[in-house]
Structure 1
């Protein structure tokens, strides 16, 4: 079952973040992930959630997404994202298509 990482980012240090954004796609691909939504400014339709930028990554499974998040080689990049943004990340599983 497909899984999705949803990131809500507020960028504080653009130059640092741009390096992260340039390099991280190789690690996403390494774990068979792909961008579904890439850093767009969302339009809030309901509620009081105020995300700044949203990224949605699709992986073939929850295990692939978790492998991406725990990849030792990607940890310095995640540290760079943490130091250049305020970010929130959630992992959700998709649902099976209706028959």
Structure 2
């Protein structure tokens, strides 16, 4: 059953490191069977006070694949590239049934 990684960027500043991260991250996602479903774009909040700056949604075949991506040496090697430019909440979403 598909699982999703939702990234909610709360602070975003452009930088050369962030550009490198964005250029490289897709290959790490694909290595684990994932694909970007949403990578930025317009957000309409229907209820509540949530105001994300930039949302990302990545689909993986299952939760194990998403966890393997996040822990992979390939992803860990580039993860720090975004740390100085963004603050992100990153969560794994799996269906209960």
Alpha-carbon separation, structure 1, partners of 2:42 and 2:79: 21
Q: CA deviation at 1:95?
A: 6.0
Alpha-carbon separation, structure 2, partners of 1:41 and 1:75: 29
Alpha-carbon separation, structure 2, partners of 1:94 and 1:26: 25
Which segments of 5 or more consecutive residues in structure 2 lack a partner in the other structure? none
Which residue number in structure 2 is paired with residue 87 of structure 1?
88
Alpha-carbon separation, structure 2, partners of 1:95 and 1:61: 12
Normalization by structure 2: what TM-score? Answer: 0.89
Alpha-carbon separation, structure 1, partners of 2:53 and 2:43: 7
Count of matched residue pairs: 96
Quote the RMSD (CA, aligned, Å): 1.5
Secondary structure of residue in 1 paired with 2:40 = strand
Structural mapping, 1:1-99, within 5 Å: 1-9=1-9, 10-94=11-95
Which segments of 5 or more consecutive residues in structure 1 lack a partner in the other structure? none
Kindly report structure 1 stretches of 4+ aligned residues shifted beyond 3 Å.
none
Normalization by structure 1: what TM-score? Answer: 0.87
Q: CA deviation at 1:48?
A: 1.1
Secondary structure of residue in 1 paired with 2:65 = helix
